[in-house]
Amino acid sequence: MENQIFILVVEDELEVMDALVNDLEEFETHFPIEIANSAAEAEQVVQHIIDSGSTVGLILCDHVLPGKNGVDLLIELQNENKTKDSRKVLVTGQAGLEDTVQAVNKAHLNHYIAKPWSKEALHDVVIQQLTDYVIRRKLNPLPYMSILDAGRLAESLRDNPLTDH
């Protein structure tokens, strides 16, 4: 199971986690989902993913978590090389303005989803963020064209063309 791009969901309320993962199921054909109930667990999971030779493409993270909060977790992950490029999204109804500003400035937060979310909006964000990830990491976009933003991926092919052979 090498070279996979994971989606990491960090949420402490189990029912909410359940609903989130259910809504993300369609991505799992290309992006396996990992879950964690706390920041500490999330860090372990990230380490495990990296150790197995895969990467974390997208982190969806609640703010109010046991122990370290979501924003602090994202800031920490931003400061680590292995997760610097991972796209970071806060999924919360609870982060105050100050926390959010922190997240944007220090964790390079890529998006903010307010609870309650709609499936369409969630999908949209996930698609765009993972597309960004694939393009920024200069990964071969072909395997992802059917599930992510095909237009943008095709556009990226123009900048980093595949060649005839």
Partner 1 sequence: MTTFTKKQWIGLALGLIGLIAPFFFNIEGLSEAGHIGLGIFFLAAVFWMLEPVPIYATSVLVIFLQILLLSKEGLIFSTPTDFYNPDSYTAFIGTLASPIIILFLGGFVLADAAVKYNLDRNLTRILLKPFGDKPKYIVLGLMVVTALLSAFMSNTATTAMMMTVIIPIIARIDKSDPLRIGLALCIPFAANIGGMATPIGTPPNAVVIGTLSNQGINIPFGDWMILATPLVIIVLFLTWLLLLFMFKPSTESIQLDMSGRFNTSGNAVLLYLVFAVTVLLWVSESLHGMKSAIIALIPVVVLSVTKVITKEDIRKLPWEVLWLVAGGISLGISMKNTGLAEWIVTSIEWTSFGTITMIVAFSAVAIIMSNFLSNTVTATLLIPLAVSLATSGIAGEGFNLIIISVVIGMSASLAMVLPISTPPNAIAISTGTLETKNMAKAGFVIGVFGIALVTLYAIFYWPIMLN
Partner 2 sequence: MKSGFILNDRKTILRFIQRAIDDNEELKAHVVKLKKGTIVFKQGEKLPFLYLLLEGSAKLTHTRHDGSSLDLVKLEPGHFVGLVAFTTGNASLTTCSVLDDVTALKIEQREFEQYVNDHPRLRHPLQQLMMNNMTDRFLKNVELESRMNSLNKELEKEGEELKNAYQQLEDSHQRLVHQEKMATLGELVAGFAHEVNNPAAALLRSSEALKENFVHSSKNDPLELMFRIGLESEPVSSVDVRNRMLVMQKQFPFVNDRSTVRKLAQMPDKAIEIIDSSRKKIPIDQLIQQFESGKLIHNIKVASERIANLVKSLKSYSRQDNNEADMIDIRLGIQDTILILSNRIKYLDLNLNLGDLPLTCGRMGELNQVWTNIIVNACDVLPKKGHLEISCQFEKPFIKVIISDNGPGIAENIIDRIFEPNFTTKNQGAEFGLGLGLAISNEIIRKHGGKITASNKKEGGAKFEISIPVKNC
* Residue 114 interface partner, choices partner 1, partner 2, none, CB cut-off 5-8 Å depending on type: none
Residues recorded for the chain: 165
* Dist. CA 59–CA 86, nearest whole Å: 7
Taking phi over 0 as left and psi of -120 to 50 as alpha, with beta for the rest, 100 belongs to: alpha
Closest separation between CB of residue 34 and partner 1, Å?
A: 24
* Residue 18 interface partner, choices partner 1, partner 2, none, CB cut-off 5-8 Å depending on type: partner 2
The secondary structure of 40-83 as a DSSP string is HHHHHHHHHHHHTT-EEEEEEE-SS-SSS-HHHHHHHHHTSGGG
Token pair of 114 as six digits: 């307010």
Window contacting partner 1 (CB under 8 A); options: 63-71, 104-112, 120-128, 140-148: 140-148
136 within 8 A of 118, measured Cβ to Cβ: no
* Dist. CA 162–CA 101, nearest whole Å: 40
Closest separation between CB of residue 144 and partner 1, Å?
A: 8
Q: Is 160 in the site for partner 1 (CB under 8 A)?
A: yes
Closest separation between CB of residue 139 and partner 1, Å?
A: 13
Cis peptide bond upstream of 116, omega within 30: yes
The CB density around residue 147, as the number of other CB atoms within 10 Å, is 16
Q: Which is nearer to partner 1, 21 or 145 (CB)?
A: 145
Q: Is 52 in the site for partner 1 (CB under 8 A)?
A: no
Binding mask 28-67 for partner 2 (x = CB under 8 A): xx--xxxxxx---x---x------------------xxxx
| Binding positions for partner 2, rule: CB under 8 A | 14-15, 17-19, 21, 25, 28-29, 32-37, 41, 45, 64-69, 94, 96
Binding region for partner 1 (CB under 8 A): 141-147, 150-151, 154-155, 157-158, 160-165
